[in-house]
Amino acid sequence: MAPKLVLHVLPPSHPCMTATAALRLKGLEHERVELAPGPHVEQMRAIYGEERHTVPGMLVDGEPVHGSRAILARLEELAPEPVLYPSDTVREAERWGEQELQDLGRRLPWGALHFRPEAVGTFGGVGPLDGAGTDFAIRLVRGTWKYHGITAARLQEDLAGLPDKLAHVQKLADEGVIGGEQPNAADLQIGATLRVLLTLGDLRPLLSDSAGERIALKCFPEYQGDVPAGAFPAGWTPTA
Ligand SMILES: N[C@@H](CCC(=O)N[C@@H](CS)C(=O)NCC(=O)O)C(=O)O
């Protein structure tokens, strides 16, 4: 009998998109539990352990599996086809995507939203916020800067380092590690972060017509959010 799978997510989270896409690729039925940001901390801790409050988490017949990479590895055991890990190179690219790239999918959008807080609404599908909504968004974004350790200096560094990271993505695609017909674990990990970065008008020119953009849109055609170009301070966004 197939094990009972329960996936715990916060809806806009990109590692959750990775896990969801892997479940879909494998054709595995599962229950999806969408948590609310804030209360999720205690709920995740109660299920996965004190140190494990982040999403995604998955229960396999009640056995906790925590984190996007652990989940994908477990799914590969449960359903070997289609293959998520065709080689060690893909496994290393997946690790790079999670360890070196994934954080930018948090710091750059929240970083940009500091300068355009009314755009927070677009991530919830309600369009730019009015004044009262923007007051709320300003407080929200301030909290995320504190939580994620975002500072203006770090943001400027992240933006300066982005071309090297995108060049690495292009190299992986040129070598055929990612971007093949059948998405693998690295496509899902890297593609999810790039999909989030595509919500930032300042960064879209950097990704335009790249392998990374194609992978992101192929694996994750739908994702809400739009921060118009010109959010980051002048001169901080690298040129394409
Ligand atoms: N590297 C972890 C990161 C998980 C992570 O940080 N998830 C974020 C959402 S994108 C989260 O849970 N944030 C809420 C929190 O930190 O409590 C993974 O891939 O599973």
- Residue 227: inside a domain: no
**54 CB near ligand 1 (under 6 Å):** yes
Q: How confident is the prediction for the chain on average, in pLDDT? A: 97
73 in a structural domain: yes
Domain count, the chain: 2
Coil, strand or helix at 92: helix
Asked if residue 65 and residue 113 are part of one domain, the reply reads no
Please report the pLDDT score of residue 240 as a whole number: 80
- 142 CA from centroid of ligand 1 (Å): 18
Tell me: do 105 and 208 sit in the same domain: yes
Stated pTM of the model: 0.97
Domain containing 175 — which CATH number?
1.20.1050
Q: Confidence band (pLDDT; 50, 70, 90) for 21? A: very high
* Whether residue 94 sits in one domain with residue 47: no
pLDDT band of residue 189 (cuts 50, 70, 90) is: very high
**Domain annotation covers residue 116:** yes
The candidate with the shortest Cα–Cα distance to 200, out of 172, 167, 162, is: 162
Question: For a substitution probing ligand 1, which of 55, 110, 195 has the most ligand atoms within 8 Å of its CB?
Answer: 55
pLDDT for residue 145 is more than 90: yes
144 lines ligand 1 (CB under 6 A): no
For 63-122, what is each residue's pLDDT tens digit?
Answer: 999 999 999 999 999 999 999 999 999 999 999 999 999 999 999 999 999 999 999 999
Q: How far is the CA of 7 from the centre of ligand 1 (A)?
A: 14
